[in-house]
Chain A
Amino acid sequence: MASEKVKLPVNLFALILFGLILLSLQLMSSATQESSELSALYSWLLLINSLGSIVLLTLVGANIYTLIKHTKKREAGSRLTRRMVSLFVILALAPAVIVFYFSMQFLHQGIDSWFNVEIDRALEDALELSQSSLDQRMRWHLKQTQQLTKKLEDSSENREALELENLRELSGASEMTLFSRQGRIIASSSINPGDILPSLPDRNIWLQLRQNGEYIAVAPAHEEKLMVRVIAKVNIQEPQYLQALYPIPVRIYDLADSVEFAFVRYKEMKFLRHSLKISFSLALSLVLLMSLLAAIWVAFISIRNIIEPVKQLVKGTQAVASGHYDEQLPVFAQDDLGFLVESFNEMTHRIAMASDETRIAGIEVENQRAYLETILANLTAGVISFDASYNIRTANQAAYRIFHIHVNQFIGRQLLDLLKDRPELTEPLKSIQRSLEQADDIWQQRIAFLGPNGRQELLCRGTPLYSQEGLRVGGIVVFDDVTDLMQAQKNAAWGEVARRLAHEIKNPLTPIQLSAERLQHKLADKLDAADAEMLKRSTRTIVHQVEAMKEMVDDFSEYAQPSKKETVDIDLSRLIQEILALYALKSGVKFKTHYETGLLMVNGDSISLRQVLHNLIKNALEAIGAEGLIEISVHRVQKNNTDFIELALYDDGPGIKDDQIESIFEPYVTTKTKGTGLGLAIVKKIIEEHGGAIWIDTSRKVGAGFIIQLPACHPEPL
Chain B
Amino acid sequence: MLIKRGLATFFCCTLFLLLAFTAYADDAATEVIDAEITLHNDHYVVSADMVYQLSKRATAALQSGVPLFWSIQIKLLQPRHLLWDKTLFTTEIHYRLQYHALLNSYRVTNQNSRETFNFSTLYAALDLMSAIHDIPLIEKSKLSLKEDYLCALKVKFDGDLLPLPLRPLAYIDKQWFLSSNWTLWPLKK
**Chain A interface residues toward B at CB < 8 A:** 31-32, 34, 39-40, 42-43, 46, 54, 58, 61-62, 65-66, 127, 130-131, 134, 204, 217-220, 226, 256-257, 259-260, 263-265, 267-268, 270-272, 275-276, 278-280, 282
B residues less than 8 Å from A204 (CB atoms) = 119-120, 124
Cα separation A62 to B168 with both chains bound (whole Å): 29
A58 to B1, CA, bound (A): 12
**What's the minimum C-beta distance from A212 to chain B, rounded to whole angstroms?**
13
> Which of B20-28, B133-141, B146-154, B159-167 lies at the binding interface?
B159-167
Question: A32-B164, A271-B65 provided; 15 other pairs, C-beta below 8 A?
Answer: A39-B164, A43-B167, A46-B168, A58-B3, A58-B6, A66-B2, A256-B102, A260-B102, A263-B65, A268-B163, A270-B64, A271-B66, A272-B64, A272-B163, A272-B166
B107 interface residue (CB < 8 Å to A): yes
Output the nearest chain B residue to A270 by Cβ-Cβ distance.
B64
A270 to chain B, nearest CB (A): 7
Contact B101–A275 (Cβ < 8 Å):
no
Chain B residues with CB under 8 A of A272: 64, 66, 163, 165-166
- Which positions 1-26 of chain B face chain A at CB distance < 8 Å? 2-3, 6, 10
Q: Which residues of B contact A43 (CB under 8 A)?
A: 160, 167-168, 171
A324 to chain B, nearest CB (A): 31
Of chain A, the residue at the smallest CB distance from B107 is A220
Encode contact with A along B51-88: 1 for CB under 8 Å, 0 otherwise. 00000000011001110000000000000000000000
Give B140 Cβ to nearest chain A Cβ, in Å: 34
Given contacts A42-B167, A65-B2, A260-B101, contact A220 B124 (CB under 8 A): no
Would you call A131 and B61 a contact (CB within 8 A)? no
Q: Residue among B3, B103, B165 with the most chain A CB within 10 A? A: B165
Task: A276 to B168: give the CA distance in the assembly, Å.
Answer: 10
Please give, as numbers and ranges, the residues of chain A lying within 8 Å of B164 by CB-CB distance. 31-32, 34, 39, 42, 279
B132 within 8 A of A: no
Q: Is the CB of B60 within 8 A of A271?
A: yes
Q: How far apart are A119's CB and chain B's nearest CB, in angstroms?
A: 15
Query: Residues on B close to A: CB < 8 A?
Result: 2-3, 6, 10, 60-61, 64-66, 100-104, 107, 116, 118-120, 124, 160, 163-169, 171
Report the bound CA distance from A303 to B102 in whole Å. Answer: 64
Q: How far is the CA of A39 from the CA of B2 in the complex (A)?
A: 37
A54 to B120, CA, bound (A): 48
List chain B residues, Cβ under 8 A from A267.
64-65, 101
With contact pairs A31-B164, A219-B103 given, residues A268 and B2 touching in the complex (Cβ less than 8 Å) = no
Q: Nearest-CB distance from B168 to chain A (Å)?
A: 6
Smallest CB gap from A271: residue in B: B64
Residues of chain A within 8 A of B118, CB atoms compared: 219-220
Please indicate the chain A residues that have their CB under 8 angstroms from the CB of B104 in the complex. 131
Name the distance in Å between B120's Cβ and chain A's nearest Cβ: 7
Q: Note all chain A residues with C-beta closer than 8 A to B163.
A: 34, 268, 272, 275
Q: How far is A131 from B103 in the complex, measured between Cα atoms in Å?
A: 8
In the complex the two chains form, what is the Cα distance from A256 to B124 in whole Å?
Answer: 25
The answer on a CB contact under 8 Å between A62 and B103 is no
Instruction: Establish whether residues A275 and B10, one from each chain, have CB atoms under 8 Å apart when the complex forms.
Output: no
Pairs A–B under 8 Å by Cβ, sample size 12: A46-B168, A61-B6, A66-B2, A204-B120, A259-B102, A271-B60, A271-B61, A272-B64, A272-B165, A275-B165, A278-B169, A282-B168
Closest residue of chain A to B100 (Cβ to Cβ) is: A260
Q: Which residues of A contact B119 (CB under 8 A)?
A: 204
Does B10 contact A58, Cβ atoms closer than 8 Å?
yes
Q: Determine how close the nearest CB of chain A comes to the CB of B179; give it in whole angstroms.
A: 15
Question: Are B165's CB and A278's CB within 8 A?
Answer: yes
The smallest beta-carbon distance between B55 and chain A, in angstroms, is 14
CB pair B103–A276 under 8 Å, yes or no, is no
Return the 7 tightest CB-CB contacts between A and B, nearest first.
Answer: A271-B64, A264-B65, A279-B165, A275-B165, A260-B102, A276-B165, A268-B65
Q: In the assembly, what is the distance between CA of A8 and CA of B116, in Å?
A: 62
CB closest chain-B residue, reference A267:
B64
Known: A263-B101, A276-B165. A62 touches B3 (CB 8 A): yes
Q: Which residue of B lies closest to A124 (CB)?
A: B101
Contacts of B10 in A (CB 8 A): 54, 58
Q: CB distance B66 to A268 under 8 Å?
A: yes
Closest chain A CB from B99 CB (angstroms): 8
Instruction: Considering the complex, give the chain B residue whose CB is closest to the CB of A43.
Output: B167
Tell me, in angstroms, the Cα distance from A442 to B60 when the chains sit together: 122
Q: Name the residue of chain A whose CB is nearest to the CB of B65.
A: A264
